[in-house]
Structure 1
C-alpha cells in the first residue's frame, strides 16, 4: 500500500485555478509523489486499517513569516512513515520482505515498539507519530515543536482531540500523561529540558534534517532526552527533497559520537514500502525519484570504552 494512501483532505472544494492544478497533479503526473499534505483551508483525515476510526488532524494556520519557514503547517511523508513504523513495531506487523531478511526488518523488529514506554517527539508539526504512540499503548507522550504559539496551539488541538480511547485499538490505550510543550533544539536550559534529561525510551524526529545548520542542535536535543536504558532508541526519518548532502550530514559518525550517539540501523524506504541500503552518495539524483525516498535512522547510546572522550550535552 502506498504511503500516502492513508491521507485524505477535508474542507472546501478548490476554487482557484491554481488549486485545481495542485489537486490534479497526481492524475496529470501519476508517478509524482506529494511530499507534504494539507493547507490552512484543508485539514486531514488519517485512516489506518488497524485503528477503529480515522484520525482528524488540524494544520496550523500560519500568517507570520517566522512561523511559515518552520513548515510545521504541513504533514510530511516522514511523519506518515514514522507513524506506520510505530504501528508496525508495536503491533508486530513486519514488512513484506521480513522472511527474506529485508533491509528494514531488523530496525522495525528491534526499535519502534512503544507499548508501556515514554516517548518524545521533536519538531512534531501535526504530531501524527506521537498520536499513534499514544493510541497504541505508550505510557507517557511528550510532543514538542518550536515555541511558536500558533504551531503549539494546533498541536494541543490535535493531541487533545485524538489521543482518546475511542480512536485506539481495543485494549491498547494505556497513556497516563500527554504533554505539548515548546522546544527549540539545543536549548537545554528550559524547565522541560531540565526536568526530562534522559527521560525517554523513544525519541522521534520526522523531516527535521532539511536545515543542516541545525543538525548540531538537533543531535544535542536527541542525546539529552534519550534514556540510559539498553533498549532506548531514537528514530530519525527524513526526506531527500532538499538534497542528500543537506540532510545526510546529521548521521555523520564523528558528529553523533561527540554527543554519545551512534547509528544502529540506517536504510532508505520509498513511498511504496520498498527498502534499499543507505548510500551517502548516489550521484546526480532525479528530483522526481528523489522525492519518493526517505532515510530511516535508528540511533542508540554508545556503550562501553567507546564513550571515552564523549562530550555530554
Structure 2
C-alpha cells in the first residue's frame, strides 16, 4: 500500500471520514507522488486500519514570511513513514505478532516506543509523536520552532488525538507535552533545558533541507538524547530538495563531534516500501523520482574512549 494512501484532506473539523476519502491525492493522481500535504483552511485526516478512529491533524497558519519559510504548515512523507514504522514495531509486531518479510524485515523492531521517553524535533503536525502517545510511549515531548501559530497547532493536534478512544491499546501516554525549541539553543527556563539527556528516542522528520542548521540540530540531539548504549535517534527525510543538501547531516565526524552519535543503520525507502542502500554522493535524480524516496537512519551514541 502506498505511503500516501493514509492521508486525505478534510473540510472543517469533524467531517465524516466517508466524505473525505475520495479526496486522497493518492486516489486522484495514482501515478504521481505528493510529498507535502496540507491546506491551512482544511484539516488533514490520517487513517489506519489498526486505529479505532481516524486522526485529525491541524496545520498551522504562518504569521509572516519567516514562519512560512519553515515549511511547518505541511505534513511531509517522512512523518507518514516514521508514523507507520512506529505503528508496525510498537503494535503490529510487538502486540499482534504480525510476520514481516522481505526488505521490510531488515528494520523490524527498531522503532518500538513502548515504555520509552521520546522527543520530536521540528514536529510540524506531530504525527509520529501522536502515534507514540497512542502506542505505549512512557513520555512524549513534542517540539518545534517557538512560533505561536505552530505551537498552538501542535497543542491542538496532541489534545485532539492522544485520547484513550483513539488508541488500539485502550490506553495512552499520561505525560505528553508541547514546547517551543530553537535547535542548538538552551536558555534557562524554556522547559527543554530541564530535559537534558532525558530521552530514550529522538525523532526527526524532514529537518535536513537546511544545511546551515545541521550543526544546531545535531547539538539538540546531543543535549536531549540519553547517554546510554540503548539510546537512539531516528531520522527520516525526503530527497525533494536534493541529496547534496541533506547528506552533510550524516557526516561521520560532524555526528560524532556535535551529536555524540554514529550511524547504526541507514537505508533509502520509497513511498511503496521498496528499499535500497544509502548513497551519500551520486548524480541527482529527476524531481519526480526524488519525491518518491526518503532516507531512514538510526543513530546510536558513540562509544567514547575512557
Q: TM-score, normalised by structure 1?
A: 0.88
Give the whole-Å Cα distance in 2 for the aligned partners of 1:125 and 1:246.
20
Gaps of at least 5 residues in structure 1 are 13-22, 309-313
Give the whole-Å Cα distance in 1 for the aligned partners of 2:28 and 2:125.
28
**Shift of residue 67, structure 1, vs aligned partner:** 1.0
Aligned partners of 1:116 and 1:174 also within 8 Å: no
Which residue of structure 2 lines up, in the alignment, with residue 63 of structure 1? Answer: 63
**Shift of residue 297, structure 1, vs aligned partner:** 0.8
Q: Give the alignment of 1:147-162 within 5 angstroms.
A: 147-162=146-161
Give the whole-Å Cα distance in 2 for the aligned partners of 1:25 and 1:114.
30
Q: Which residue, 178, 182, 187 being the options, matches 1:189?
A: 187
Aligned partners of 1:186 and 1:221 also within 8 Å: yes
Give the whole-Å Cα distance in 2 for the aligned partners of 1:243 and 1:27.
26
Q: Give the alignment of 1:2-17 within 5 angstroms.
A: 2-11=2-11
Aligned partners of 2:8 and 2:24 also within 8 Å: no
Q: Give the alignment of 1:163-182 within 5 angstroms.
A: 163-171=162-170, 173-182=171-180
Which residue of structure 2 lines up, in the alignment, with residue 140 of structure 1? Answer: 139
Does residue 85 of the first structure (1) align with residue 85 of the second (2)?
yes
Give the whole-Å Cα distance in 2 for the aligned partners of 1:51 and 1:97.
19
Q: Deviations over 1:190-238 (max 9, x none)?
A: 4333211110011001000000000000000011111123221110110
Q: Give the alignment of 1:120-139 within 5 angstroms.
A: 120-139=119-138
Does residue 46 of the first structure (1) align with residue 46 of the second (2)?
yes
Q: Secondary structure at the match of 1:198?
A: coil
- Alignment coverage as a number of residue pairs: 291
Aligned partners of 1:107 and 1:298 also within 8 Å: no
Of residues 82-91 and 223-232 in structure 1, the stretch that sits farther from structure 2 once superposed is 223-232
**Shift of residue 41, structure 1, vs aligned partner:** 1.5
**Shift of residue 304, structure 1, vs aligned partner:** 4.2
Give the whole-Å Cα distance in 1 for the aligned partners of 2:99 and 2:241.
29
**Shift of residue 145, structure 1, vs aligned partner:** 0.3
**Shift of residue 30, structure 1, vs aligned partner:** 4.1
Which residue of structure 2 lines up, in the alignment, with residue 279 of structure 1? Answer: 279
Q: TM-score, normalised by structure 2?
A: 0.89
Which residue of structure 2 lines up, in the alignment, with residue 19 of structure 1? Answer: none
**Shift of residue 93, structure 1, vs aligned partner:** 3.8
Q: Deviations over 1:33-87 (max 9, x none)?
A: 1011111112111001111110011111223111101111111000000101111
Give the whole-Å Cα distance in 2 for the aligned partners of 1:169 and 1:99.
24
Aligned partners of 2:5 and 2:24 also within 8 Å: no
